[in-house]
Amino acid sequence: MIKGQKNSVGTSLLYEQVAGEIAGLIDQGTFKAGDRLPSIRQLSRRFGVSINTVTQAYTLLEDKRLIQARPQSGYYVRSRVPEIREPDLPSRPFILPTTVTISELCHQVMRNMMRPDLLPLGSAIPSAQNLPIDKLNRIMASELRRCGDDAVIYQMPLGYERLRVQIARRALVAGISSGPDDILVTSGCVEAVLLALRATCHAGDTIAVESPFYFNFMQMIAELGLKALEIPSTPRDGISIEALRYAIEQNSITACLVITNFSNPLGSLMPDERKRELVELLASHEIPLIEDDIYGDLAFSNERPSAAKSFDRSGLVIYCSSFTKTLAPGYRIGWAIGGRFQAKMERLKLMMNIASSSPPQLALAEFLANGGYDHHLRSIRKIHARNISQMADAVAHYFPEGTRMTHPTGGFILWVEMPVGINAMQLYHLALERGISIVPGPLFSLANKYGNYIRLSAAVWDDRIEQGIKTLGELAHELLPV
């Protein structure tokens, strides 16, 4: 046992030992899912270690998702939620580009996401209750007073310089070295991606994308007259480099569009090595990579993952992001770091809408400089991590046996695989009748895939949301084939 053992390598060894002991007790079934674990004080006496050591051990087990803290109540063993299967990816998949058709369904789902009368289990936007609204409002008011003219003139050609300086400083954390003039402020990440597609492709070209993939970009690809080539992706590693390599050999691919960190909907975090391989593979074929890193600041671990752009040596990576998931979706402020395509994107932006709205740029610049952005990120990450884990537990509890889901380590989206035979489209319609909006899986592919998947958003967790998950679970039970 631990008591009396000398810790030769600092406290880390000791708390890991304590965590190992507790994990062992859970493994053996001494403590089962839902059981309350001994208090920190009890364990500290039992193991003869400090309160701090037990607290660290419990934190480690929380990070490993073995246990869960409940406010004012203590630590509990989590239910084991089966993780979504990592698909066996064929290294030579049958891959053909598909012409995208704009779907009425997609528009309907997006409209429903914003309906205030529906429970928002579908929309991937942060909850207003978790955003620093008062502070942003105060900053906006004082910046409008302080900056006067700047708030009403065009911030062109690239956007408000003070904001671009702040963005360039923050890009360093993702491994990107850039100056303010490398940054083009856009109207959200969607405009950044649109400009990137327009700067790199022409109608009829083929774009390689992940599968499953964020449905709004599918629609954008369609609108531009492009074809999408779906490359298999896994929750652990993201887009399959092997399948992409094969696809490049077999097809003429003009650009590749990837959500590298906590993708939508899989929540995949591409390991650095895979990001490097992706950038090098595409560069060796002179194919631009359009990187969407909109969720990158939302890692639960507080360690901001790097961007694929950080491995770019040839200027072929166009980095796109925004403040939609972290601060203010309605400000509509994003940015692109366009590399070789920067000048062309700037011209396109001027032609399309000249510049993005000035007042939110002023407010965001000040917020990033002095508003406590890092503090806000720490708080929102914690909230999302807790929400995801509570929602995952509820899905495990209420959905039919055989349901699986992703275990994302950032963002706030869950991708749920229901037993084969449960029709996600039917579930979507039944849920709407019960006042709940979700996103059905088939929207994330053009190839009739994901018929038994749904995407859930854990931006909020409260009793109403839990009740919503319960209702969805009951509906899923009703849809089980007999």
Chain residues that interact with ligand PLP, rule: CB under 6 A: 124, 188-190, 214, 259, 264, 292, 294, 322, 324, 329, 334
| Residue 56 vs 322, nearer CB to ligand PLP | 322
| Residue 49 vs 337, nearer CB to ligand PLP | 337
Smallest gap, in angstroms, from Cβ of residue 45 to ligand PLP?
48
CA 445 – CA 218 distance, rounded (Å): 8
| Residue 205 vs 292, nearer CB to ligand PLP | 292
Smallest gap, in angstroms, from Cβ of residue 320 to ligand PLP?
8
CA 191 – CA 338 distance, rounded (Å): 13
Smallest gap, in angstroms, from Cβ of residue 138 to ligand PLP?
23
Torsional sign, CA 311, 312, 317, 321: positive
| Residue 259 vs 395, nearer CB to ligand PLP | 259
| Residue 109 vs 385, nearer CB to ligand PLP | 109
Kindly write down the DSSP assignment for every residue of 368-421, as one continuous string.
HHHS-HHHHHHHHHHHHHHHHHHHHHHHHHHSPTT-EE---SBSSEEEEEPPTT
- Give the residue closest to ligand PLP by C-beta: 188
Smallest gap, in angstroms, from Cβ of residue 295 to ligand PLP?
7
Widest Cα–Cα separation across the chain: 73
Smallest gap, in angstroms, from Cβ of residue 322 to ligand PLP?
3
Smallest gap, in angstroms, from Cβ of residue 324 to ligand PLP?
3
Q: Which residues pair with 229 in a beta bridge?
A: 208
Other CB atoms closer than 10 Å to residue 379's CB: what's the count? Answer: 13
Smallest gap, in angstroms, from Cβ of residue 192 to ligand PLP?
8
CA 84 – CA 404 distance, rounded (Å): 5
CA 186 – CA 179 distance, rounded (Å): 16
Smallest gap, in angstroms, from Cβ of residue 413 to ligand PLP?
8
CA 31 – CA 390 distance, rounded (Å): 19
CA 190 – CA 322 distance, rounded (Å): 9
Compute CA distances 77 → 32, 40, 84, 264, whole Å.
6, 14, 21, 29
| Residue 296 vs 473, nearer CB to ligand PLP | 296
| Residue 124 vs 316, nearer CB to ligand PLP | 124
| Residue 17 vs 324, nearer CB to ligand PLP | 324
Smallest gap, in angstroms, from Cβ of residue 226 to ligand PLP?
17
| Residue 200 vs 322, nearer CB to ligand PLP | 322
Kindly write down the DSSP assignment for every residue of 166-199, as one continuous string.
HHHHHHGGGT----GGGEEEESHHHHHHHHHHHH
CA 95 – CA 93 distance, rounded (Å): 6
| Residue 19 vs 294, nearer CB to ligand PLP | 294
Q: Are 274 and 237 in contact (CB under 8 A)?
A: yes
Strand order in the sheet with 439-440: 404-405, 413-417, 453-457, 439-440
Smallest gap, in angstroms, from Cβ of residue 294 to ligand PLP?
4
